[in-house]
Amino acid sequence: MAWTLYYDGGCNLCHASKLRVERWAERARLPLHVDILQSPEAIEKGYGSAMVLEVDGRPLYGADAWLAMMQIAPWYLRWVGWLGLVPGVRQLMKSGYGVVARYRYRWFGTRACPLPQPPKTTTD
């Protein structure tokens, strides 16, 4: 299984979440590639402002991405992923994610977005 996480590089909450998921993936020995939504690759794929997790090439957005990430979360958080299987709860989680996503800059602040740099070329 291969995962790629795209997150909003200008959002403090998204950055903190990315760091958390990187730790979880390392502990789970899961290959995880991380990139920002502002990268050329994410823009080319048409990803917007919500967190995107590609699982074996299949994109999951927002709350669905978080529910998938609960598979590698510490044991005491995995119940959140199972809760998403309860009828009606997944929709509530998506609504809650939408509210947090809408106000994340106001509530958690912003940061300088690390725009990707083109690879350095060497001339011999």
State the CATH number of the domain containing residue 33: 3.40.30
- The per-residue pLDDT for 22 is 93
pTM tops 0.95, yes or no: no
- The per-residue pLDDT for 107 is 79
In a domain, 34, yes or no: yes
High-pLDDT (> 90) share of the chain, % = 19
Closest alpha carbon to 67 in 41, 92, 39: 92
In a domain, 41, yes or no: yes
- The per-residue pLDDT for 21 is 92
In a domain, 123, yes or no: no
In a domain, 84, yes or no: yes
In a domain, 124, yes or no: no
In a domain, 116, yes or no: no
Give me the torsion for CA of 114, 25, 80, 76, rounded to 10°: -120
- The per-residue pLDDT for 123 is 56
Mean pLDDT along residues 56-64: 89
Number of structural domains found in the chain:
1
| Rounded CA separation 118/70 (Å) | 33
Supply the range of the domain harboring residue 94: 3-107
High-pLDDT (> 70) share of the chain, % = 86
Grouping H, G, I as helix, E, B as strand and the rest as coil, residue 75 is: helix
| Sequence-ordered alpha helix ranges (H) in 2-124 | 12-27, 40-45, 62-69, 78-83, 89-108
In a domain, 28, yes or no: yes
- The per-residue pLDDT for 80 is 83
In a domain, 121, yes or no: no
